Structure 1
Amino acid sequence: MPSHDKKIEAYIDCGNKPPWTLPAKASYSIYDGRRAQKYFGHKFETPDFFPILSLLPQRCLTYVKMKRPEKLEDLFQSCFESLWLEHLDLAKQEHMRTGLLKTFNKQEAEEILNAAQTSEIKLALNDVTKHAVEDLGAFGCPWFWVHDGKGNAEPFFGSDRFHYMWDYLDIPHRDLELRGPVSGKL
């Protein structure tokens, strides 16, 4: 969150089973997906080819984080939109190129795609993933390692933990609250 001078890192690949591989989680994800769409204001359907082998987008993001960190959030947003709204399989180079071109010019996009195949970037992604799992304790996705700007850092797990992160970072926000007397569907 550069706008608040804070750093949040996200990691994956810890051996935890993804929701679609466990029947109860897969059934539940239908409800959770609809709720998330309503909350975040995005309509999307799971692509037919999902899940993808996400190494190419991860390597591209790793390169951008190392060489063009000011563009990392923009590229992450482009990847989200390309996969979930446009149903582009970002594991395929031509589709990843399309996602990159939303944030970078043609020459920069080719540079990133080429760099994603280098041993330097492959090793960097491997090292950061290994560090997250073995040293920091990552166990699923989304898993965040949040730096407070004062030399401290803590883990947070789950897409419903952002308000906990904002509290930890001392970022003003409107907390979850019930308004008025409770007369809901109880």
Structure 2
Amino acid sequence: MSGKIDAYVDCVSPYSFYATLYLRKNRKALESHGVEVEFHPVFLGGINVGSGNKPPWTLLAKANYSKFDTQRACKYFGVPQIKTPDFFPILSVMPQRCMIYIKRTYPRERFETTFLSLWEWMYHKNIDISKPEQLAELLKTHNYSDHEIKATLEAAKSPEYKEALTANTQTALDRGAYGAPWFWVRNKEGKEEPFFGSDRFAFMWQYLDLPFQDVAIVENTGKARL
């Protein structure tokens, strides 16, 4: 592949959900142009601390605006409206470590579809997937055996996967991250730049020198639509 998009995402971030869906939807087209996509679980709390950023819900103006923004994003990306659970925000380290284990152990598609379920269970079903027993139930729906589920949850408590999540998070910080989703993009010339958020893909496509159809307003000509 001549280009690559490294996506740093956390299940606590709804915008990471939108970005993951969008990149997966466009993966075939990206690969046709030689661009690889890889998702990296990170700990957003660690990124906030390491960068000096604060979660949007801690600032009243941002929290108020996010009510509008999340509704618009859900409509744009074609997903059910998010319902912020009473237990939000969660401490996402355990499920994120589990996702690293699953990524290393199983095929890419199984890893990514399992990862997507974290957002779906938390934001659509309002189930606290930071609790091991709830995460185990989620894994069962993806046909993981009892043995596989036990191994996954045990891995999340091991030094290896604690260090793996810390390393992923530090890599994102080293690449300038102050939130999620964070992207590190390499173009065909071998140059690399960061991108942030789920609404800047047009900038990314331009950087990758990809042909794409930008958002355009359709002029009202007064003619009746068929």
Q: TM-score range by the shorter chain?
A: 0.7 to 0.9
Matches within 5 A, 1:36-115: 36-41=73-78, 42-70=80-108, 71-106=110-145, 107-115=147-155
Structure 2 CA distance for partners of 1:111 and 1:40, relative to 1, 3 Å: same
Gaps of 5+ in 2: 1-23, 222-226
Identity of aligned residues (%): 44
Task: For 1:99-178, list aligned pairs within 5 A.
Answer: 99-106=138-145, 107-133=147-173, 135-148=174-187, 151-170=190-209, 172-178=211-217
Q: What CA deviation, in whole Å up to 9, does each residue of 1:17-76 have, x standing for no partner?
A: 111111000000000011112112222211111000001111011112222251221112
Distance 1:86 1:8 in 2: 27
TM-score normalised to the size of structure 2?
Answer: 0.71
The number of residues matched between the two structures is 181
Gaps of 5+ in 1: none
Matched residue type, 2:102: V
Residue 61 of structure 1 aligns to a residue whose secondary structure is helix
Conservation of the 8 A alpha-carbon contact between 2:172 and 2:182: no
User: CA contact under 8 A between 1:14 and 1:139: conserved in structure 2?
Assistant: yes
What is the CA deviation profile of residues 148-186 of structure 1, one whole-angstrom value per residue up to 9, with x for unaligned ones?
A: 47644321101211233344445554321111159xxxx
C-alpha contact 1:147 1:154 (8 A) present in aligned 2: yes
Moved more, 47-56 or 35-44: 35-44
Q: By how many angstroms is 1:145 displaced?
A: 1.8
| SS class of match (1:101) | helix
Aligned to 2:37: 7
SS in 2 for 1:14: helix
Q: TM-score, normalised by structure 1?
A: 0.85
- Provide, for residues 98-131 of structure 1, a one-character-per-residue CA deviation record: whole Å limited to 9, x for no partner: 2222334223222211111111010111112112
**Does 1:27 find its partner at 2:64?**
yes
